[in-house]
Amino acid sequence: MAFISEIHYQDFISLAPGGEPEFLEVTLSVDEAARSSDFVVSLYQADGSLAAEVSLDTVTSFPHPTSPGFVIFQVGVSDVPAGIVQGGTSFLTGPDNGGGPVEAYALTDTGPGGDVISFFEIDGVSSTSNITAVGGAADGLTTTTIPPAPTGSSVQFDFFGNRVDEPPTPTTSVVCFCSGTLIETTEGVKKVEDLRPSCSYPANADQVVTISGEARPLRWIGRTAISAAELEENHKLRPIRITAGALGNNLPVSDLLVSRQHRMLISSDIARTMFGVEDVLISAIKLTALPGVFVDDSVKEVEYFHVLLDSHEVVIANGAPSESLFLGPEALNTLSEAHVEQVRNLLPEQIAPDIRPEAAAFIPENHQQKEFVSRYQNVA
C-alpha cells in the first residue's frame, strides 16, 4: 500500500504560496510504518546519478489526518545533505532543473520480497525524461514521467493512484514555546506571554538569561494561536510535551510544551563521541523516543510564541536549556508574512539574503539525531 502521496517543489511551474519549503511525503499503512526502516526514498539527478537516499525511519512522521490506520512520512530539507539544498528551502527541482539538483524520486521497499514501488520524474516544457538510475535502490530502472502540478499546487496522489493536486500541505518547522513556558530573565522567571520585547517596550524590555549566564535583550516576540479545529486538521501543529525530569538531571523542572521542531540542548559524552562536541541541539519530535516525551493529543488549542534575540541563543525554559528563534531560511518560510515583515523592520541584518546565521550549538542532521537519542536513552 506504500506510495508517494505528495511532491512539493518550488519553481516556475509550481510555486507554493508563502514560499513553503520543499518536501516529499510517503504514506504507509500502520503495519508498514512498524518497519519504516525498510522504506527508502532515493533522489536522482538528471544524469541518473544518486544525489541522496533517505530511510523513512529517520524523518518526521504523523498519523494520516483523515484515514486512520495510515501514517505520513515527510522528507524535508533537514533530512537531506546540505550540499543539495539551495537557499535553505529547495532540494526538489520539479520539471527541467527549475528549483534544485534533484530530478527524479524513487520509493523502494527494501524489506524481504520488497521492490521499487515508484520512480517519478516530473515533465516540463522541454523535459528531462527517461532518467535511468545509476546506483541506489532504483539502480538500473528508468523513470515514469508524470505531468507537473498546476501553479500554486503540489503533485498529490490519493490511495488509488489518482492525481488530486492541491495547494501543498503546510509544514511546521518554526521554533516555538507554548504559552505558560517559564523563561529565565534578569528579573526572575517570567511566563513567555508576559515577556516585554524591545520593539514594544524600548525603555524596560526584558533581558533574557542565556545558558552562559549572560543577559540578552529580548528583541521581538511573535505569537500564533492554533484552534481546536486546526489541531484536528493538522496533527503536525500539536505540541510536544516534555515531562518533568524526562531529559535527565531533573530537567525540565516542570512539564514543558514546545512545537515539534523546537530544539532542546542536550549535553552528553555520547555527543562528544559522535560529533566531537559535548552540547547538541535536538528537535523535540526526535526526543519522543525518550520516556516522558510525546505528542500531546490532549491539548485542545495552543498558542505558540517565537522568542527572538540578537542572535541564536540557548535560554532557560522551565529550568531546561532550549533554543531561541533561529532565523534560518527554513524558519523564515514558516513564519507568517506579517511576522517576517516585523522581523525585517527590527533586524534587517539578520534576514538579508546573503546572511547565514550561526547556530548557538551544533545541530546534527536528522538521521544523526535519531541515532544520538537512541544511544542517549540507553545510558540515561
Which of 16-25, 308-317, 336-345 is most confident? Answer: 308-317
pLDDT in tens, 222-248: 888 888 988 887 777 889 999 999 999
Residue 256 backbone dihedrals phi, psi, to 5 degrees: -120, 130
Q: What is the mean pLDDT of residues 298-313?
A: 92
Residue 346 has pLDDT above 60, yes or no: yes
Q: Which residues of 175-208 are buried (b: 16+ CB within 10 A; e: fewer)?
A: bbbbeebbbbbeeeebebeebbbbbeeeeebbeb
Phi, psi of 77 (to 5 degrees): -60, -30
pTM: 0.69
Is the pLDDT reported for residue 259 higher than 50? yes
Neighbours of 348 (CB within 10 A): 10
Q: Is the pLDDT score of 172 beyond 60? A: no
pLDDT of residue 322 exceeding 60, the answer is yes
For residue 116, pLDDT over 90 is answered with yes
Which residue has better confidence, 147 or 264?
Answer: 264
The whole-number pLDDT of residue 88 equals 66
Say which amino acid occupies 262: H
35-49, 114-128, 183-197, 303-317: least confidently modelled range:
114-128
Provide the 10 A C-beta neighbour count for residue 369.
Answer: 23
Q: How far apart are CA 92 and CA 99, in angstroms?
A: 6
DSSP H or E segment with residue 178: strand 177-178
Band (pLDDT 50/70/90 cuts) for residue 192 is very high
Give backbone dihedrals phi and psi of 173, rounded to 5 degrees, phi first.
-95, -5
pLDDT tens for residues 176-190?
Answer: 899 999 999 999 999
Query: What does the pLDDT look like over 138-170, one tens digit per residue?
Result: 999 999 988 888 877 888 998 888 898 887 765
pLDDT band at 56 (very low <50, low <70, confident <90, very high): very high
